[in-house]
A and B are shown apart, each in its own frame.
Chain A
Amino acid sequence: MTNYGLVIDQERCIGCQACAVSCKQENNVPMGQFWNRVLTEGGDKIDTPSGGYPEDGGSGSLDMQYQPTACQHCENAPCVKVCPVNATYTRDDGIVEIDYDKCIGCRYCMAACPYNARVFNWDEPEHMPEEGTGDVAARPQGVVEKCTFCSHRVDEGLDPACVVNCPADARIFGDLDDESSTVSKYINEYETDQLLEDRGTNPKTHYISGEMSPGRPQTSDKLESELDDVSPWSDGTEDVPSEASGSDSSDSGGGHHSIEGDAVPHVPAVGSGGDD
Chain B
Amino acid sequence: MNNPQQPRLTPIDEWEDEATAMLDGVEYDTELGLRMARDAIRVSNGELSDAEFHEKYHDEVLAEFGEDERPTKPEGFDDD
Using a Cβ–Cβ cut-off of 8 Å, how many residues does chain B contribute to the interface with A? 43
Contact residues of A: prevailing secondary structure:
loop
Stretch from A2-10, A108-116, A155-163, A169-177 that touches the partner: A108-116
Q: Does A81 contact B (CB under 8 A)?
A: yes
**Taking A86-B69, A114-B41 as contacts, is the C-beta distance between A45 and B12 under 8 angstroms?**
no
**Taking A81-B53, A84-B65, A263-B11 as contacts, is the C-beta distance between A274 and B19 under 8 angstroms?**
no
Using a Cβ–Cβ cut-off of 8 Å, how many residues does chain A contribute to the interface with B? 56
Q: Does A266 contact B (CB under 8 A)?
A: yes
Assembled-state Cα–Cα distance A264/B28 (Å):
26
A276 near B1: Cβ-Cβ < 8 Å: yes
Q: Beta-carbon contacts of B51-72 to A below 8 Å, as 1s and 0s?
A: 0010000000100110111111
Q: Does A83 contact B (CB under 8 A)?
A: yes
A74, A81, A107, A120 — most chain B CB neighbours (10 Å) = A81
**CB-contacts of B1-60 with A (<8 A):** 1-2, 4-13, 15, 18-23, 26-28, 33-34, 36-37, 40-41, 43-46, 50, 53
Q: Can you name the residue of chain A whose Cβ is closest to the Cβ of B28? A: A106
Chain A residues near B26 (CB-CB < 8 A): 105-107
B41 near A199: Cβ-Cβ < 8 Å: yes
**Taking A112-B40, A263-B11, A268-B6 as contacts, is the C-beta distance between A200 and B67 under 8 angstroms?**
no
Contact pick for A200, options B15, B19, B28, B46, CB 8 Å = B46
Assembled-state Cα–Cα distance A44/B44 (Å):
32
Stretch from A35-43, A146-154, A219-227, A241-249 that touches the partner: A35-43
Subset of 10 A-B contacts with CB under 8 Å: A40-B7, A45-B6, A78-B43, A108-B23, A111-B22, A111-B23, A111-B34, A112-B41, A114-B41, A270-B5
Which residues of B are at the interface with A, using a C-beta cutoff of 8 A?
1-2, 4-13, 15, 18-23, 26-28, 33-34, 36-37, 40-41, 43-46, 50, 53, 61, 64-65, 67-72
